[in-house]
């Protein structure tokens, strides 16, 4: 379990993390979301004792990171900005990590096997591809068989097979009752793997909720309808107060009207329907909506956000 | 305590695994012994041909310590690389995740650097001395000659402290370029030139390498002075490096 209480970090006049409080519970994969510059990385670094917070605490199973005697046995972390020395072999890198935390050196071969780097164990990490480097970072995070995992952008550089492997790994880690926190800017990936979401923007908490709850509560569900005469039906629906967007293949996405009402209007106008269904908003759209609201400043409505 | 020992073991593995640090140690050994042998050989030729280019204060004992004056350049590079190898790649963050107490990490790295410097300096100093004497042939002296054991021990102390001084400077700078650009010319020529100019002669005595040279001068009357000055530089560099490391927001 990771417990973040009232965490604040300022760099000069800029408040990067602003009174953040949330808890990451065991037994689930928690996604940590926020646009660029939201303070995700700073929050993770404070959790891991690399950056000193101005106020507040971050505790790993009740302990500040710096107080853990052998931290790699309690929490495995992967950070974007940390990398092994290019002149070290993969095996030597994991060996010194194991030695520093008194982890049995037999684990080195085990984690290399687990991430599929056994054949590259004696290669210098400077010769690794992005994906191999990422696998080595994951091996380092898994080395101490920790009950807590914190992974910053873990799918970066992984191929399709690697992403799938990681997804299954994270799910099984959570199923074993471990605490798993991952940040990613890939919404589709996050939607597939996370059970719970912590969303921040401008250093503040916007949501701390279950994935489906988040989309239900904040997402815009829409009715997808398909007909041979989309233009005419579209006008009818707009006349009924709905917002309509054309999609390729004669489809219309209808927002602001229930499927039953769409059906009634279509029937009254004699439109044949090839498809009619209600869809939940995607994580990506919902996220953008929530972030947009969080960043909206009076007089500056509807600002766009980079994710 | 056992956490610190674990950190020391880990630092040892890093040091042995990283190519740059390993090569600089090997280079130190090779250059020192090779120059010591060449030095003895050319002195022998000079002695036998009554060549006036031989220094008037030449002694076979002192000549036996000349090799490490060149070899030390590689040892300084080693001291710098041990520290800066953490910063060139971002490995420092991995190190701090594994050993979050910054003092512990710093002590472990410094201790391993010192141990490596001693472990290599002892055989290299003795071998270098023996190589010079062997090359001098009948003009050579012995290991047990008056003042020699003390000068050899002083040389090991000198080399170790210079290596730690370099590591401290590197910890302050956190990159290899500035420390090497300052330290190598200083040791190669800078302070020697200063010591030749009348006005700066007195000042030059207080530079780390010039002061430290008293340690490896056979029968020097200023050993204690030299040791104290070099130690003070080393402690100051390591201390400042520690302050930088403690404050650094990674």
Domain that holds residue A174: 2-210
In a domain, A56, yes or no: yes
Whether pLDDT at A307 is above 70: no
A60 and A152 both lie in a single domain? yes
Residues present in chain A in total: 307
Q: In terms of Cα–Cα distance, which of B97, B184, B207 is closest to A45? A: B97
A184 and A244 assigned to the same domain: no
Average pLDDT over residues A64-90: 92
Q: Give B146's pLDDT tier (boundaries 50, 70, 90).
A: confident
Same domain, A147 and A68: yes
According to DSSP H, which parts of A185-269 are helical?
187-193, 211-218, 230-239, 259-269
Nearest to B7 among A88, A100, A140 (CB): A100
Please compute the mean of the pLDDT values over residues A145-167 and round it to a whole number: 93
What pLDDT, in 10s, does the model give residues B156-183?
999 999 999 999 999 999 988 889 988 8
A181 and A272 within one domain: no
Q: Are strands A75-78 and A148-152 parallel, antiparallel or unpaired?
A: parallel
Instruction: Label residue A136 by pLDDT band (50, 70, 90).
Output: very high
Flag the least confident range among A113-117, A150-154, A202-206, A301-305.
Answer: A301-305
- Is residue A307 included in any domain, yes or no? no
User: Does residue A303 fall inside a structural domain?
Assistant: no
Q: Kindly state whether residue A110 falls inside one of the protein's structural domains.
A: yes
B66, B67, B68, B74 alpha-carbon torsion, rounded to 10°:
140
Distance from C-alpha of B208 to C-alpha of B76, rounded to nearest angstrom: 13
Residue A49 sits in the same domain as residue A172: yes
Give the domain CATH number at A228: 3.30.70
Interface ipTM: 0.89
A126 and A17 in a common domain? yes
- As a whole number of angstroms, the distance between CA B101 and CA A101 comes to 13
**Same domain? A91 vs A170:** yes
Hey, what are A173's tokens? 């880690």
Sorting pLDDT into bands at 50, 70 and 90, what band is A22? very high
Cβ of residue A80 closer than 8 Å to a chain B Cβ: no
Q: Say if A305 falls within a structural domain.
A: no
Nearest chain A residue to B248 by CA distance is A51
Q: How confident is the model at residue B11 (pLDDT cuts 50, 70, 90)?
A: very high
Distance linking the first and last C-alpha atoms of chain B: 25
Nearest to A101 among B17, B85, B98 (CB): B98
What pLDDT does residue A296 have?
53
Same domain, yes or no: A198 and A244 = no
Of A59-73, A127-141, B188-202, which gets the smallest average pLDDT? B188-202
Listed in sequence order, the residues at least 6 apart from A302 whose beta carbon sits closer than 8 Å to its beta carbon are A292, A296
A157/A39 same-domain check: yes
Least confident of A212-221, B85-94, B106-115: A212-221
Task: List all residues 6 or more positions away from A135 whose beta carbon is below 8 Å from its beta carbon.
Answer: A115, A116, A117, A158, A162
Q: Which of A69, A82, A89 sits opposite B90 (nearest CB)?
A: A82
pLDDT of residue B55: 75
Asked if residue A299 belongs to a domain, the reply is no
| pLDDT tens digit sequence for A234-244 | 999 999 889 89
**Whether pLDDT at A2 is above 50:** yes
Interface test with B, best of A42, A99, A144 (most B CBs within 10 A): A99
Q: What is the CATH classification number for the domain harbouring A194?
A: 3.40.50.300
Three-class DSSP category at A275: strand
Q: Is the pLDDT of residue B193 over 80?
A: no
Among A11, A66, A100, the strongest candidate for a mutation testing the B interface, having the largest count of B CBs within 10 A, is A100
Q: A111 and A241: one domain?
A: no
A104 and A133 part of one domain: yes
CA angle B84, B87, B93 (to 5 degrees): 135
A281 close to A161: Cβ distance less than 8 angstroms:
no
User: What is the pLDDT at residue A304?
Assistant: 40
Is 70 exceeded by the pLDDT of residue A295? Answer: no
Same-domain status, A89 and A177: yes
Work out the pLDDT band at B187, boundaries 50, 70, 90: confident
Shortest Cα–Cα distance, A118 to chain B (Å) = 18
Look up the pTM and report it.
0.86
Would you state the pLDDT for residue B250?
Answer: 60
Q: Do A102 and B101 touch (CB under 8 A)?
A: no
* Total number of domains in chain A: 2
* Lowest-pLDDT choice from A23-27, B47-51, B190-194: B190-194
Q: What is the pLDDT of residue A95?
A: 97
Residue where a domain stops, chosen among A210, A234, A254: A210
């Amino acid at each position: 379990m990771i417990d973040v209480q009232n965490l604040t970090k300022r760099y000069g006049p800029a408040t990067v993390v602003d009174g953040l409080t949330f808890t990451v519970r065991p037994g689930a994969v928690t996604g940590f979301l926020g646009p660029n510059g939201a303070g995700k990385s700073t929050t993770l670094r404070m959790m891991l004792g690399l950056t000193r917070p101005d106020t507040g605490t971050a505790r790993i199973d009740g302990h500040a990171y710096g107080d853990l005697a052998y931290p790699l046995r309690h929490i495995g972390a992967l950070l974007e900005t940390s990398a092994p020395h290019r002149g070290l072999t993969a095996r030597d890198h994991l060996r010194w990590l194991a030695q520093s935390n008194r982890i049995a050196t037999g684990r080195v071969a085990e984690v290399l096997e687990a991430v599929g780097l056994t054949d590259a164990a004696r290669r210098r990490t400077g010769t690794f591809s992005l994906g191999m480097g990422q696998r080595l970072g994951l091996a380092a995070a898994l080395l101490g068989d920790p009950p807590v995992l914190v992974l910053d952008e873990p799918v970066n550089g992984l191929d399709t097979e690697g992403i799938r492997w990681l997804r299954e790994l994270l799910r099984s880690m959570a199923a074993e009752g471990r605490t798993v926190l991952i940040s990613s800017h890939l919404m589709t990936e996050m939607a597939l793997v996370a059970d719970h979401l912590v969303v921040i923007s401008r250093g503040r908490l916007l949501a701390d909720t279950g994935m489906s709850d988040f989309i239900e509560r904040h997402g815009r569900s829409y009715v997808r309808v398909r007909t041979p005469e989309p233009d005419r039906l579209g006008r009818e629906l707009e006349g009924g107060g709905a917002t309509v967007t054309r999609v390729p293949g004669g489809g219309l996405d209808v927002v602001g009207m229930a499927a039953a009402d769409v059906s009634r209007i279509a029937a009254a106008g004699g439109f044949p329907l090839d498809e009619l269904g209600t869809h939940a908003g995607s994580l990506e759209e919902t996220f953008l909506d929530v972030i947009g609201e969080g960043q909206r400043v009076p007089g500056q409505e509807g600002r766009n956000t980079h994710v | 305590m056992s956490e610190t020992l674990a950190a020391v073991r880990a630092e040892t593995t890093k040091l042995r695994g990283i190519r740059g640090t390993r090569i600089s140690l090997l280079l130190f050994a090779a250059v020192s012994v090779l120059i010591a042998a060449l030095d003895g050989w050319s002195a022998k030729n000079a002695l036998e041909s009554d060549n006036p280019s031989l220094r008037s204060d030449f002694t076979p004992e002192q000549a036996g310590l000349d090799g490490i004056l060149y070899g030390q350049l590689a040892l300084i590079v080693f001291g710098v690389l041990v520290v800066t190898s953490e910063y060139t790649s971002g490995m420092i963050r991995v190190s701090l995740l594994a050993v979050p107490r910054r003092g512990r990490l710093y002590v472990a790295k410094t201790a391993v650097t010192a141990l490596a410097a001693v472990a290599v300096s002892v055989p290299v100093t003795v071998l270098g001395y023996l190589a010079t004497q062997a090359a001098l042939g009948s003009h050579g002296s012995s290991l047990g000659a008056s003042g020699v054991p003390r000068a050899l021990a002083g040389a090991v102390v000198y080399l170790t402290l210079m290596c730690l001084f370099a590591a401290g400077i590197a910890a302050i700078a956190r990159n290899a370029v500035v420390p090497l650009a300052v330290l190598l010319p200083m040791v190669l020529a800078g302070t020697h030139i200063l010591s030749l100019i009348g006005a700066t002669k007195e000042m030059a005595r207080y530079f780390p390498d010039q002061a430290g040279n008293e340690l490896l001068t056979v029968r020097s009357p200023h050993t204690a002075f030299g040791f104290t000055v070099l130690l003070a530089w080393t402690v100051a560099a390591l201390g400042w490096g520690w302050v930088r490391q403690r404050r650094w927001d990674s």
